[in-house]
Amino acid sequence: MSHAWYKTYQKLEAFIKNQPEVQIKENFVSIDEKVRPAFYKLFNNVRTSFLGEKFSTWLDEAEFLSTKYMKVEDDLIERLRLKHVLMPLELRRSLSDPIKQIIREMFDPLFELLQKKIEMEEFEEKALERIGVVSRGLYQKGYIKWFIVSLIKKLDPEKIYGIPIFQPSSKEIIKHRKDTLQTIPFSEETDILGFEVVRRDIVLVPDFIVFSKLLGKYVGFRTEVGKAVWEASHHSDKREWFSIGSMMQDYGIVNMSPDLLLYVADNQEDISLVADSKKFCRPDMMIEFLDQAEERDAAQVDDFNRIRLYHDILKPVKGTCIISKHSLPEKMKQGLDDNILPIHFGFNNLKWDTVLTLLKQ
């Protein structure tokens, strides 16, 4: 075997062979505390070498994205005096240190190889598949988070607000009466920027609301759109509301999960509710992100069809933006609604003016 990473694996094998304190059998693993640091140094060298050889392009892009994201996050933390920026742990680790996060996917397969449970070819196949799927997903999610925090910065934020929605227990959800309406509390200034975190969607509210000095208005951000289970007690008469029942009659049961919905208003109360069990608030803008990892025409056709459907259902007032790090072929843009705007948005082609101009309308 001529793979460069295999040389590091041979060093690990030699270490195990020469260390009686290390016992790795098919159904038994024992690594003495005295030699554990040396073992895991070699173990990690194998994982890092494999990743560098097989996924060098992804590593370059992921580390570049990490640098870009962390800079904007640090700026926002200082400007808004934030204590925390919340997101799923694996995404946080990926944006902070992409290599350290992604090599975790090789932990089990590499031990299986050392235990002779799998052959070298199966190890490579399993590691390539797991890393390929996870790395693409983490990069996509990381790119979206970078876009969101960058958009907040571009909006010239003065303050950030959260809505302290009631989080019921499982027992309270079961006992909830259908005719009981959920009161939406007033938003409160917060020092936590949080999105895509575990929550019970009794009603859908913005992840957070930012007061934008650029727009002179409040902007509500909502990611991870799910299905609300309770009915709200109040719906702003300054917003347009769609009946979820009518939406289902017109479009059937759709697992609708737009990447980002934006709501703009003079008053926070008018954008404090995204949806309840019966009504959905018409957004001002919807932003969708194509797969940022690579160009895939066939998959993009499915993406465009999904985006068209979401756009038709939600009818965003200012339109829908499709963000792609790669330049899109003209054939992909044909037949799109005039209010659906594909934007080539590479790191060297940041078209913030296009997005901000739409928001200002």
pLDDT in tens, 250-283: 988 888 889 999 999 999 999 999 999 999 999 9
- Pair 128, 81 in one domain: yes
Instruction: Choose the final residue of a domain: 93, 117, 150.
Output: 150
- Tell me which of 132, 150, 168 is where a domain ends: 150
Same domain, 244 and 345: yes
Q: Give me the torsion for CA of 13, 19, 21, 24, rounded to 10°.
A: 20
| Alpha-helical segments (H) within the chain | 4-18, 36-54, 56-80, 89-96, 98-102, 107-114, 120-154, 170-175, 244-251, 297-314, 330-333, 352-360
Quick check: 292 pLDDT over 60? no
Into how many domains does the chain fold? 2
Same domain, 115 and 263: no
Is there a single domain that holds both residue 203 and residue 254?
Answer: yes
CA distance 237 to 232: 14
Domain boundary among 109, 127, 150: 150
Let me know whether 254 and 143 are in one domain. Answer: no
Give the pair of three-digit tokens for residue 137.
């997903």
Query: Which of the two residues, 309 and 201, has the higher pLDDT score?
Result: 309
* Pick from 35-44, 96-105, 161-170, 342-351: least confident: 161-170
Whether residues 82 and 187 share a domain: the answer is no
Whether 181 and 98 map to the same domain: the answer is no
| Distance of alpha carbon 343 from alpha carbon 345, whole angstroms | 6
* pLDDT of 133 above 80: yes
> What digits encode the pLDDT tens for the residues 67-84?
999 999 999 999 999 999
* pLDDT score at 172: 61
CA atoms of 321 and 344, how far apart (whole Å):
10
37 and 169 share one domain: no
86, 89, 95, 96: CA torsion to nearest 10: 100
Query: Are 240 and 317 part of one and the same domain?
Result: yes
Q: Is 214 found in the same domain as 110?
A: no
**What is the domain extent for residue 293?**
157-360
Among residues 67, 58, 53, the alpha carbon closest in space to that of 291 is found at: 58
What is the value of pTM for the model shown? 0.90
Phi, then psi, of 68 in degrees rounded to 5 = -65, -45
Q: Quick one: 235 and 354 in the same domain? A: yes
- In Å, what is the CA distance from 170 to each residue of 173, 174, 176? 5, 6, 10
Q: Does residue 176 contact residue 168 with C-beta atoms inside 8 Å?
A: yes
Mean pLDDT throughout 102-131?
93
Query: What percent of the chain lies above the pLDDT cut of 70?
Result: 92
pLDDT of residue 125: 93
From residue 221, give the alpha-carbon distance in Å to each of 96, 168, 249: 23, 23, 28
Same domain, 141 and 164: no
